[in-house]
Structure 1
Amino acid sequence: MSLGQSLLTIAALIAVSAFFSVAEISLAASRRLRLRQMADAGDLRAERVLRMQDQPGPYFTVVQIGLNAVAILGGVVGEGALSPYFTRLMALLVDEPLAGRLGFAASFLCVISLFIVLADLLPKRLGMNDPERAAVRLVGPMETLLRLMGPLVWLFGRLTDGLFKVLGLPAQRDERITSADILAMTEAGARSGQLAEREHEVITNVFELETRVVTSAMTPRERIAWFQKDEPEATLRARILAEPFSNYPVCDGDLDQLLGYVDAKDLFQRVLNQQALSPLDEGLLRKVLVVPDRLSLAEVLEQFRQAHEDFAVIVNEYSFVVGVITLNDVMSTVMGGLVDPQDEDWIVQRDPHSWLIDGMTPMADVQRALELAELPHEGEYETLAGFLMEMLRRVPKRTDSVQWAGFRFEVMDVDRYRIDQVMVTRLPSGTEASAGPV
Structure 2
Amino acid sequence: MQLPESLFAIALLIVLSAFFSLSELSLAASRRLRLRQLAVDGDLRAEQVLKLQEAPGDYFTVVQIGQNAVAILGGIVGEGALTPSLSRVFALWTQESTANTLGFVCSFFFITSLFILFSDLFPKRLGMAEPERWAMRALTPMAWFMRIFKPIVWLYAKTTDLVFGLLGIQTTRDERITSEDILAMTEAGARAGILAAREQQVIANVFELDSRTVSSAMTQRERIAFFLRDDPDEVIRARIAEEPFSTYPVCDGDIDHVVGYVDAKDLFQRVLNNQALSLKDEHLVRKVLIVPDRLTLAEVLDQFRLVHEDFAVIVNEYSLVVGVVTLNDVMSTVMGDLVGPDDEEQIVRRDENSWLIDGVTPIEEVLRALHLDELPHDDEYETLAGFMMVMLRRVPRRTDSVSFGGYKFEVLDVDSFRIDQVMVSRLGDTGAPAAKEGADTGFTENI
TM-score range, shorter chain: over 0.9
* Residue 347 of structure 1: aligned partner: 347
Asked if structure 2 preserves the Cα contact closer than 8 Å seen for 1:250 and 1:258, the reply is yes
| Change beyond 3 A, Cα 1:124–1:431 | closer
CA distance in 1, matches of 2:144, 2:247: 69
CA distance in 1, matches of 2:344, 2:66: 65
Asked if structure 2 preserves the Cα contact closer than 8 Å seen for 1:18 and 1:118, the reply is yes
CA distance in 2, matches of 1:95, 1:392: 86
- The SS at the match of 1:437 is coil
Which aligned pairs between 1:98-113 and structure 2 lie closer than 5 A? 98-113=98-113
| Change beyond 3 A, Cα 1:9–1:215 | same
* Residue 206 of structure 1: aligned partner: 206
CA distance in 1, matches of 2:95, 2:371: 66
Asked if structure 1 preserves the Cα contact closer than 8 Å seen for 2:404 and 2:432, the reply is no
Which aligned pairs between 1:263-302 and structure 2 lie closer than 5 A? 263-302=263-302
Answer with 219-228 or 121-130: which moved more.
121-130
1:298: how far off?
0.7
* Residue 418 of structure 2: aligned partner: 418
* Residue 174 of structure 2: aligned partner: 174
* Residue 44 of structure 2: aligned partner: 44
Which aligned pairs between 1:372-387 and structure 2 lie closer than 5 A? 372-387=372-387
CA distance in 2, matches of 1:93, 1:267: 108
CA deviation map 1:175-228 (0-9, x unaligned): 111111111111111111111112111111111000001100000001000001
* Residue 236 of structure 1: aligned partner: 236
CA deviation map 1:118-154 (0-9, x unaligned): 2112211111112111111111211122222222222
| Change beyond 3 A, Cα 1:273–1:430 | closer
Asked if structure 1 preserves the Cα contact closer than 8 Å seen for 2:329 and 2:340, the reply is no
Asked if structure 2 preserves the Cα contact closer than 8 Å seen for 1:403 and 1:433, the reply is no
CA distance in 2, matches of 1:159, 1:49: 25
- The SS at the match of 2:81 is helix
| Change beyond 3 A, Cα 1:80–1:339 | same
Which aligned pairs between 1:427-438 and structure 2 lie closer than 5 A? 427-429=427-429, 432-433=432-433, 435=435, 436-438=442-444
CA deviation map 1:264-315 (0-9, x unaligned): 1221221222211111212111221111111100111111112221111111
1:85: how far off?
4.1
CA distance in 2, matches of 1:297, 1:405: 28
1:391: how far off?
1.3
* Residue 369 of structure 1: aligned partner: 369
| Change beyond 3 A, Cα 1:90–1:384 | farther
Aligned length: 438
1:28: how far off?
0.7
TM-score by length of 2: 0.93
Asked whether 1:331 is paired with 2:302, we answer no
CA distance in 1, matches of 2:151, 2:434: 67
Structure 2: 5+ residue runs without aligned partners?
A: 436-441
| Change beyond 3 A, Cα 1:30–1:10 | same
* Residue 33 of structure 1: aligned partner: 33
1:422: how far off?
1.9
- Report the AA paired with residue 272 of structure 1: L
Which aligned pairs between 1:11-410 and structure 2 lie closer than 5 A? 11-88=11-88, 90-91=90-91, 95-340=95-340, 342-410=342-410
Asked if structure 1 preserves the Cα contact closer than 8 Å seen for 2:25 and 2:124, the reply is yes
Asked if structure 1 preserves the Cα contact closer than 8 Å seen for 2:350 and 2:356, the reply is yes
CA distance in 1, matches of 2:93, 2:257: 102
- Report the AA paired with residue 225 of structure 1: A
CA deviation map 1:72-115 (0-9, x unaligned): 11111222222234444555666543443343233222222221
CA distance in 1, matches of 2:390, 2:92: 80
CA distance in 1, matches of 2:121, 2:35: 24
Answer with 142-151 or 305-314: which moved more.
142-151
Answer with 191-200 or 399-408: which moved more.
399-408
RMSD of aligned residue pairs (Cα, Å): 1.8
- The SS at the match of 1:128 is helix
- The SS at the match of 1:173 is coil
1:174: how far off?
0.7
CA distance in 2, matches of 1:159, 1:141: 25
- Report the AA paired with residue 443 of structure 2: P
- Report the AA paired with residue 173 of structure 1: R
1:156: how far off?
1.7
Structure 1: 5+ residue runs without aligned partners?
A: none
| Change beyond 3 A, Cα 1:16–1:215 | same
CA distance in 1, matches of 2:92, 2:429: 61
Using the aligned pairs only, state the percent identity: 66
Asked if structure 1 preserves the Cα contact closer than 8 Å seen for 2:20 and 2:63, the reply is yes
| Change beyond 3 A, Cα 1:285–1:325 | same
- Report the AA paired with residue 349 of structure 1: R
- Report the AA paired with residue 236 of structure 2: L
